[in-house]
Amino acid sequence: MFENIAGIGIFKGVEREKIALAFEQVRYQIREYEAENIIAYAGDTCEYLYVLLEGRVRGEMVNIKNQNVIVDDISAPNTFAEAFLFATQNKIAVNIVASTKAKVILLPREEFLKLLNLETQILENYLNAVSNRFVTVAQKLRFLTLKSVKKKLAHYLFGLARENKGKNYFALGKTHVALASLFGITRPALTKNLLELQEEGVIEIKNKRVRILDKEKLASY
């Protein structure tokens, strides 16, 4: 179990033996969920740090058309809902659903506080994780203001090009699932628009790497 936990961002830089010793001093539960089981509902009070040991979970919400929209896709080993844990209004914002069979540690808020006091590196990692989560939310809000999928892709690809200045090809940086989630669209819609951009000669995709061929046309979307 602690081999998996050591691979999670919150526990980065902490020796496996120290993690095991710290967990011996706190109370926690381990629960298993079948695929499509609800782990937590939107509006539930966030009382635990959720540590995903095995499997995959997703965050989803219902849009105005009464359709389920996936807003996050998380694979083990990882944590989820950590940003809500110490909020004044600590209500979970989305339904959390097991996408596959999943094994999850539920660490109560008070016990997690003990863990943070036991290992300052975990505290630093936790603050970093929460900060990164809010950066992601800010990025999603920015993309929601862009109306078309091609506009979203143009904004994202130009950002990657700036980060990889001087390189002809650059990695897309995220899986299609993660990128679709960031844009607030479905994965098929993302794939369709990427293929259209390639067919129109705007970009080239080769070995999971991208090259912008027509910057002027890409900027026009």
What pTM value is reported for the model?
A: 0.70
Burial of 63 (0-12, 13-18, 19+ CB in 10 A): exposed
- Domain extents in the chain: 2-144, 149-219
Quick one: tokens of 123? 């505290």
Return per-residue pLDDT of the chain as tens, 221 residues.
777 788 899 999 999 999 999 999 999 999 999 999 999 999 999 999 999 999 999 999 877 777 777 778 899 999 999 989 999 999 999 999 999 999 999 999 999 999 999 999 999 999 999 988 888 777 877 887 888 999 999 999 999 999 999 899 999 988 998 898 888 888 999 999 999 999 999 999 998 899 999 999 999 99
Query: Which H or E run contains 80?
Result: strand 78-80
- CATH placement of domain 149-219: 1.10.10.10
Helix (H) and strand (E) counts for the chain?
8, 11
Residue in the block written with tokens 């389920």: 68
C-alpha triplet 37, 126, 77: angle, nearest 5°: 40
Between 2.60.40.10, 3.20.20.140, 3.40.50.300, 2.60.120.10, what CATH number should domain 2-144 receive? Answer: 2.60.120.10
179 close to 156: Cβ distance less than 8 angstroms? yes
Place of tokens 């509902």: 41
